[in-house]
């Protein structure tokens, strides 16, 4: 059984360790999500502390998936602060811990993130993902479109510079 919940900053703060566990597990498994060293727990904690702060300001929304009462996945919906971008949101940190993959959790989180953005009046969603990752297939199956790719965008956990694919989805 998977339960999905939107967390406020107040709700997320005591769950910092669980959020870090998900991110750390994904990085250890080779995910390209901004970190190259899964053992750098301090950097991972700083990242989540910053994101929790952004929940309080309303710049981001956080959805988490629980399995047997444990957080196993996350996704962030970021809102543009610029006046000319109030119609769009960015999807980031779609993370599913390796032990919880292949259960449809990422799809459910994406569906909830899209619904959340639509409820906030957003009509355009954007994201980027490492080119060639399986996540691209998920996004394409959910009617996301490829805008293009950027070569040598991010360093992988193996020290290779990988391309990123930029994607978008128009909400109706």
Specify the higher pLDDT residue, 38 or 151: 151
83-115: per-residue pLDDT in tens? 999 999 999 999 999 999 999 999 999 999 999
In the prediction, which pLDDT does 16 show? 97
Give me the domain span that covers residue 48. 2-170
Q: Measured between alpha carbons, how far is 19 from 12 in angstroms, rounded to an integer?
A: 8
Residue with tokens 């993959």: 101
Tell me what the mean pLDDT of segment 48-64 comes to. Answer: 95
Residue with tokens 């080779």: 30
Task: Name the domain count of the chain.
Answer: 1
In the prediction, which pLDDT does 172 show? 79
Q: What is the mean pLDDT of the chain?
A: 95
Q: Is the pLDDT of residue 80 over 90?
A: no
Residue with tokens 């702060």: 53
In the prediction, which pLDDT does 81 show? 83
Residues pairing with 124 in the sheet: 88, 170
**Residue 28: which CATH number?**
3.40.630.30
129-162: per-residue pLDDT in tens? 999 999 999 999 999 999 999 999 999 888 899 9
In the prediction, which pLDDT does 32 show? 87
Percent of the chain with pLDDT strictly greater than 90: 88
């Amino acid at each position: 059984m998977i339960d999905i919940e939107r967390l406020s900053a107040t709700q997320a703060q005591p769950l910092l360790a669980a959020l870090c566990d998900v991110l750390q597990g994904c990085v250890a498994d080779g995910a390209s999500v901004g970190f190259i060293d899964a053992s750098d727990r301090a950097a991972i904690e700083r990242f989540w502390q910053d994101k929790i702060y952004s929940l309080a300001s309303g710049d981001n929304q956080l959805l988490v998936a629980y399995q047997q009462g444990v957080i196993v996945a996350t996704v962030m919906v970021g809102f543009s602060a610029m006046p000319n971008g109030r119609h769009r949101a960015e999807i980031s940190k779609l993370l599913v811990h390796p032990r919880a993959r292949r259960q449809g959790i990422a799809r459910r989180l994406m569906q909830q993130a899209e619904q959340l953005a639509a409820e906030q009046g957003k009509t355009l969603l954007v994201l980027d993902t490492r080119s060639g990752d399986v996540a691209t297939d998920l996004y394409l199956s959910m009617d996301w479109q490829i805008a293009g790719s950027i070569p040598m965008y991010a360093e992988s956990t193996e020290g290779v510079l990988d391309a990123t694919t930029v994607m978008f989805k128009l909400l109706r």
